[in-house]
Amino acid sequence: MGVDVVSTRRAIFLDRDGVLNRPVERDGVSGPPASLAELELLPGVTDACARLRDAGYLLVIVTNQPDVRRGTMVQADVEAVNAAVLAAVAADDVRTCFHDDGDGCGCRKPRPGMLRAAAEEWNIDLTASYMVGDRWKDVEAGQAAGCTTVLIERAEPYAGSTAAWRRADSLTTAAAIILGGDGEGEARAR
């Protein structure tokens, strides 16, 4: 009688705006691109994603997009931007939460619902995976799911109560850290 072997995969969960593409400044507030015309990938993103994929990681984009719920964006426009980013970085999946903070859903970061749903569908070992984001909500979602976290530092201060495993200035640097380019690689400390 044979034994069923369940293989689990490793993944890199990636926030979209501020990690993969440049946020758009409107009235002094940083936000998502409202259309494909505003979409600009950040430098080095496609190469960093290719390196992570080549190392055997699945790439899963997880993004909060509350402007749909707020009525300031149309869901079809968000999905068009998602599809363009997904194709540009050759990611395996994209998960989007369209809820706002007050909705109390389990998928809106900092809750780990999007990561857990992807893990179930793709057979991902969350403890062997990373969450890379540019906000405290990304870090907390990753930690709540059991992932190791990397914070992409931006101009705004880190407002979270928990610290990321590592900090980086770009996805290129984050990929080097994850892949061991800084001498640490898989030697993760939560």
Report how far residue 107's alpha carbon sits from residue 96's, in angstroms, rounded to the nearest whole number. Answer: 8
Q: CA 125, 95, 36: angle at the middle one, nearest 5?
A: 140
What are the structure tokens assigned to 56, written together? 């055997």
β strands within 71-144, DSSP E: 93-97, 130-133
Report how far residue 44's alpha carbon sits from residue 173's, in angstroms, rounded to the nearest whole number. Answer: 9
- Cα–Cα distance list, 136 to 131, 147, 180 (Å): 11, 14, 24
Catalytic residue among 17, 67, 134, 138: 17
Q: Where on the phi/psi map is residue 99: left (φ > 0), alpha (ψ -120 to 50), or beta?
A: beta
Residue 33 main-chain phi, psi, to 5 deg: -65, 135
Catalytic residue among 4, 15, 27, 54: 15
Report how far residue 48's alpha carbon sits from residue 177's, in angstroms, rounded to the nearest whole number. Answer: 11
Q: Around Cβ 79, how many Cβ atoms within 10 Å?
A: 15
Whether 4 sits among the annotated catalytic residues: the reply is no
Whether 103 sits among the annotated catalytic residues: the reply is no
Active-site annotation, residues:
15, 17
